[in-house]
Chain A
Amino acid sequence: MTAIAAPRFLQSTVGKKVVMAVTGIILFGFTIVHMLGNLQIYLGPAKFNAYAHFLKSVPSLLWGTRAILFISVLLHVVTAVQLTALAGAARPRAYSFRRWRSASYASRTMMLSGPLLALFVVYHLLHFTTGQAHPHFIKQDAYWNFVTGFKVVWTAVAYVVCMLALGLHLIHGAYSASQSLGLRTARTAPVFKLVAYAITIVLVAANISMPIAVQAGVIKLHVPTEVPPVVVGVR
């Protein structure tokens, strides 16, 4: 018998899922914090811009976070590609006729929702972080960028679609991670499911509300009581 006991963790299908789960949870955690921070858009430009300024105030923290996120995305994507290749090699020939019994749509489309999220992240960074994909970018005015950015109808629609894809990815992924990490038991599974589903639904709903609120005119450029119009007007 050639089976060996030496662990080959990162080469193993179990270890690769642990990598997916750990990096996925890091990204999930980030999207939650990111959503909570962005909800301050409802508090007006002063609060929102102060928050945006605060985020960039400690360079070591900013770049540390960015490094962790970048490495997580990289490992998540590379491992996803590896697992997909393994799955393809394990079933080189598809069934002529296939009927799913229980597999959810979300679980079968992780390799569609995932890559769409990767494209979204690139667009999102060019849009709100660096500004190349933004029609009226002003470096120091996050509130202005937010509102003028989402005033563009197709941009608002694209964000809503991508957030639905995020929901699809996480409605499977967030709960799936507990299984990959071996944390699920008959007793804990319902708890993980409830927490994963609840956070995912709140996350997606809150994120989607923002572009919609701009389109609906609930979030406006001019909030006279807090910021005189001149401030917004200067470029």
Chain B
Amino acid sequence: MNIKLHVWRQKNGADAGKIVDYDAPDISPDMSFLEMLDVVNERLITKGEDPIAFDHDCREGICGMCGMMINGTPHGPRKATTACQLHMRSFKDGDEIWIEPWRASAFPVVKDLVVNRGAFDRIIAAGGFVSVPAGSPPDGNAIPVPKMNADLAMDAAACIGCGACVAACPNGSAMLFTSAKVAHLARLPQGQPERDTRALRMVNQMDAEGFGGCTNVGECEAACPKEITLENIALMNRDYIKATAVYRKERAGGD
């Protein structure tokens, strides 16, 4: 099949960047989307041009590295599918495909389609952890976890941190990501001791990174390749409101 690409090209963070058109003839429908880009890049390199930079690693939908706007929606048109798991059979011969990086001031463009998602790492570092004595492993089932909570925690933990929620959100909000991390630990007994401070710290960090606020549009949930639900955002709001209400300065350590 023959495809026409409109790709965002930007040399570095300082470059203004622009959409550049490429013809991509002889593309197999069995190729993955990233393989199609690989082919386009080989051809560019053969011509002595700069290949299109994009992030990827596992190429099986588990690492969260890949991610780009494909025809105006994160990771392309398929539900619950990362860009690396998207295949060219989702398109037809003669299609035009628009490819852009995630657009958020908290995710500055490094090059072309590659953005710096360090903001997510800092949100995790702010509170997305549990403090445990790191000795020998505890006995299995020493801490009972209700099946439902275990399942809901696993659902939230499925978040791969790709950033599609931010990219999809009309407000550039990171609430789906942050709430998945808050909810994942809030659902488990091990997460309880730090539950209040976690909500406060992670939301504070999220705001400090310059993400927008949530207006419950739901575009993040629809775009999420791991089907993280809005229910997590409600839980985070609940935790944040409660943590604010019960906060005591003298008990909060150095904060």
Instruction: Write out the residue numbers on chain A whose beta carbons fall within 8 Å of the beta carbon of B212.
Output: 13, 83, 86-87, 89-91
Kindly state the separation between the CA atoms of A102 and B224 in the bound complex, as whole angstroms: 12
Interface residues of A in 168-203 (CB under 8 A from B): 172, 175-176, 178-186, 189
Q: With A96-B100, A102-B218 as given contacts, are A86 and B200 in contact (CB-CB < 8 Å)?
A: no
Instruction: Write out the residue numbers on chain B whose beta carbons fall within 8 Å of the beta carbon of A7.
Output: 200, 243-244, 247
Instruction: Write out the residue numbers on chain B whose beta carbons fall within 8 Å of the beta carbon of A5.
Output: 196-197, 200-201, 204, 247, 252-253, 255
Please state if B104 and A91 are interface contacts (CB–CB under 8 Å): yes
Please state if A91 and B240 are interface contacts (CB–CB under 8 Å): no
Q: With A3-B202, A5-B200, A87-B213 as given contacts, are A96 and B234 in contact (CB-CB < 8 Å)?
A: no
Total chain B interface residues with beta-carbon distance under 8 A:
65
Query: Which of A14-22, A35-43, A149-157, A215-223 lies at the interface?
Result: A14-22
Interface residues of A in 2-30 (CB under 8 A from B): 2-9, 11-18
Instruction: Write out the residue numbers on chain B whose beta carbons fall within 8 Å of the beta carbon of A4.
Output: 200-201, 204, 255
Interface: B203 (CB within 8 A): yes
Q: With A13-B214, A89-B212, A101-B222 as given contacts, are A8 and B204 in contact (CB-CB < 8 Å)?
A: yes
Partner of A14, one of B98, B100, B122, B240: B240
Please state if A6 and B255 are interface contacts (CB–CB under 8 Å): yes
Please state if B234 and A183 are interface contacts (CB–CB under 8 Å): yes
Interface: B153 (CB within 8 A): no
Kindly state the separation between the CA atoms of A228 and B153 in the bound complex, as whole angstroms: 71
Interface residues of B in 1-28 (CB under 8 A from A): 6, 8, 19
Q: With A7-B244, A101-B219 as given contacts, are A89 and B210 in contact (CB-CB < 8 Å)?
A: yes
Kindly state the separation between the CA atoms of A86 and B173 in the bound complex, as whole angstroms: 9
Q: Which residue of B lies closest to A107 (CB)?
A: B217
Kindly state the separation between the CA atoms of A21 and B127 in the bound complex, as whole angstroms: 27
Q: With A91-B171, A101-B219 as given contacts, are A184 and B210 in contact (CB-CB < 8 Å)?
A: no
Please state if A182 and B237 are interface contacts (CB–CB under 8 Å): yes
Interface: A224 (CB within 8 A): no
Instruction: Write out the residue numbers on chain A whose beta carbons fall within 8 Å of the beta carbon of B218.
Output: 102-104, 107
Kindly state the separation between the CA atoms of A2 and B249 in the bound complex, as whole angstroms: 17
Kindly state the separation between the CA atoms of A182 and B186 in the bound complex, as whole angstroms: 14
Please state if B171 and A90 are interface contacts (CB–CB under 8 Å): yes
Q: Which residue of A lies closest to B19 (CB)?
A: A96
Interface: B63 (CB within 8 A): no
Please state if A3 and B127 are interface contacts (CB–CB under 8 Å): yes
Q: How far is the CB of B244 from chain A (nearest CB, A)?
A: 4
Interface: A94 (CB within 8 A): yes
Please state if B127 and A92 are interface contacts (CB–CB under 8 Å): no
Kindly state the separation between the CA atoms of A18 and B104 in the bound complex, as whole angstroms: 24
Q: With A179-B237, A182-B235 as given contacts, are A6 and B214 in contact (CB-CB < 8 Å)?
A: no
Instruction: Write out the residue numbers on chain B whose beta carbons fall within 8 Å of the beta carbon of A83.
Output: 171, 212-213, 215
Interface: A93 (CB within 8 A): yes
Kindly state the separation between the CA atoms of A121 and B103 in the bound complex, as whole angstroms: 36
Among all A-B residue pairs, the 4 with the closest Cβ atoms: A182-B238, A90-B172, A3-B126, A13-B213
Q: Using CB atoms and an 8 Å cutoff, list the residues of chain A in contact with chain B.
A: 1-9, 11-18, 83, 86-87, 89-104, 107-108, 110, 172, 175-176, 178-186, 189
30 A-B contacts, Cβ less than 8 Å apart? A3-B204, A3-B205, A3-B208, A5-B204, A5-B255, A6-B200, A12-B240, A13-B207, A13-B212, A14-B236, A14-B237, A14-B241, A17-B237, A83-B213, A87-B170, A87-B212, A90-B210, A91-B104, A91-B105, A95-B69, A95-B103, A96-B100, A101-B168, A101-B219, A102-B219, A104-B218, A176-B216, A179-B230, A179-B234, A189-B231
